[in-house]
Amino acid sequence: MSSLKEVRTRIDSVQSTRQITSAMKMVAASKLRRAQNAILGMRPYAQKLNEIITNLSHDLEGSGEGTWSDDRGDHKILLIPVTSNRGLCGAFNINVVKAAVELIGNKYREQYKNGNLHIYNIGKKGADTLKAWGYNIQEVNSEILDNLNFENTVAIAEQLMKDFQDKKYDKIIIIYNEFKNAAVQILREQQYLPVTSQETEEEKAETGVQANYIFEPDKEQILAAIVPKSIKVQLYKALLDSMAAEHGARMTAMHQATENADEMLKDLRLSYNKARQAAITKEILEIVGGAEALRG
């Protein structure tokens, strides 16, 4: 059995750790509230834009905006894993990294071997892990997560759009965690460019009839305005989703860590009381033994 001093030292250590995890849980909860409000406010707008693009997707071909829906195959790929800058958020980061590695190994192995697959990592933690696993990272952007807003996201989106338009990449894929609630994040692999309809087969069956639009102003002006806007909004939505999911994952992880610390403290205090009782019993026996020896 451990000595009283050892057990007391462990109790103090666990109590200190518990204070940290409890504080981190409260901070994450506060940040989650803001991030959740942001993504819940953005989703209806992003979904409506995507719905419009889906309904107009057949009009993209032959228009100036057909560039964004031009399927040029899988020759040159840009992979964008979205992780966090900080850890202590459970499996949030590693799930994205594993999904990226699995996608490279299963679908784009040849492109990676030939140097035709580039990785542009948003978030420091994912980049560090991929580098440690031997993958080449062409670019890392961690600053965007420290000051996430639409203006900063537009700068990234415009560069990605330019690279696609200049045929530097044939396909751009984003891997991120979608926020569902504080305890649940859904891993998503979204084809960012070229633009494709994200409507499911069930949704297509429900829609049934193709909408017939009267364009005002003309179709070209509408497509020229709405398609680039939608592309930028979709990236911003993915980053907002990831941010909210990160805070939810960290809050859940810190809550679990705090509960584990409570259980450990309970066991350590029981061990401490047992050790203390054993020490007192030993001292009493020594006193009684000494008294008996003097009496004899």
- At residue 217 the predicted structure's pLDDT band, cuts being 50, 70 and 90, is confident
Segment 259-266 shows an average pLDDT of 96
The answer to whether residues 166 and 54 touch, using CB atoms and an 8 Å cutoff, is no
Six-digit token pair at 61? Answer: 């071909």
Report angle CA 56, 58, 62 to the nearest 5 degrees: 110
| Residue ranges per structural domain of the chain | 4-17+255-291, 23-197+214-253
Six-digit token pair at 21? Answer: 């995890």
The pLDDT of residue 200 is above 50:
no
State the CATH architecture for 23-197+214-253.
3-Layer(aba) Sandwich (3.40)
Which residues are known to be catalytic? 89
| CA 53/CA 59 separation, integer angstroms | 9
CATH no. of 4-17+255-291: 1.10.287
Segment 174-181 shows an average pLDDT of 96
The pLDDT of residue 275 is above 50:
yes
Segment 223-230 shows an average pLDDT of 85
**Residue 97 burial by CB count (10 A; 0-12/13-18/19+): exposed, middle or buried?**
buried
**Residue 295 burial by CB count (10 A; 0-12/13-18/19+): exposed, middle or buried?**
exposed
The pLDDT of residue 296 is above 80:
no
Q: Is the pTM of this model over 0.75?
A: yes
Segment 61-74 shows an average pLDDT of 72
